[in-house]
């Protein structure tokens, strides 16, 4: 099965971020097992960031902050482009 585009949002009101990525189909490797889509971790990108309701560019933040924001992507539910 070919990959899909995925989107996920981390929304708290203090820090809001939208992430995009490529998704790949996963299964348990046996015939008839269920399938699900998971993000390809090295394809995750930040589409936009708002801090306290103010849009912020990724380039304006220190690398340590950007790395911490990317870590937030592990806490979200991803949706595919279905």
Query: Which parts of 1-82 fold into alpha helices (H)?
Result: 63-72
Judged by DSSP in three states, 22 sits in strand
- Residue 1: pLDDT band by 50, 70, 90 thresholds? low
Mean pLDDT for 57-73 is 96
Position 81 scores a pLDDT of 72
Q: Which of the four pLDDT bands, split at 50, 70 and 90, describes residue 80?
A: confident
The pTM (predicted TM-score) of the whole model is 0.87
CA 25: distance to chain centroid?
16
Range of the domain at 53: 4-80
Report the number of distinct structural domains present in the chain.
Answer: 1
User: Which string of b and e fits 42-77 if b means at least 16 CB within 10 Å?
Assistant: eebebeebeeeeeebeeeebeeeeeeebbeebeebe
- pLDDT class of 2 with cuts at 50, 70, 90: low
- Report residue 78's pLDDT band, with 50, 70 and 90 as the boundaries: very high
């Amino acid at each position: 099965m070919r990959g899909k585009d995925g989107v996920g949002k981390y929304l708290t009101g203090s820090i809001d971020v939208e992430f995009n990525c490529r998704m790949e189909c996963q299964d348990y490797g046996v015939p008839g097992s269920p399938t699900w889509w998971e993000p390809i971790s090295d394809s995750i990108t930040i589409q936009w960031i708002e801090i306290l309701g103010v849009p912020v560019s990724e380039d304006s933040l220190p690398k340590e902050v950007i790395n911490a924001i990317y870590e937030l992507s592990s806490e979200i539910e991803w949706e595919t482009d279905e």
